Structure 1
Amino acid sequence: MNKDQVKGKVEEVKGKVKEVAGKVLDDKGMEIEGKVQKNVGKARAGLGNLKEDVKDELEDD
């Protein structure tokens, strides 16, 4: 696991917590901010996954 995967998953979790807190507190701004943060985290984790796949392919050759 590389740092982009780890940081992406952490951001994803923090975003989900913020999204749920926004729903519970009826704070649309916080909910939207959480959704954005969650999706940014997913994208960063995806980038990390891509890096790992490329690294694995290069090692196999």
Structure 2
Amino acid sequence: MPTWPTKEGRTTITLELRTELVEHLDAQAEYLGQSRAAYVRGLVMRDMERQGPGRATNQR
């Protein structure tokens, strides 16, 4: 977790992935000239555009 405060309306997440998944993620991000975080944000935004926002829950 970061030691700095997050911006208003944002939250920080941590993902645990198998090494080969991270290697794929990094390769795709590099191909597009993006950071790992920017690539993941783009995946989520494209998914929201495709199917709309997820169902709101209080469970995590």
**What TM-score, normalized by structure 2, do the two folds share?**
0.32
**What TM-score, normalized by structure 1, do the two folds share?**
0.32
| Higher helix fraction (1 or 2) | 1
Q: Report which of the two structures shows the higher radius of gyration computed on alpha carbons.
A: 1
Task: Specify which structure has the bigger relative contact order, considering alpha-carbon pairs within 8 angstroms and separated by 6 or more residues.
Answer: 1
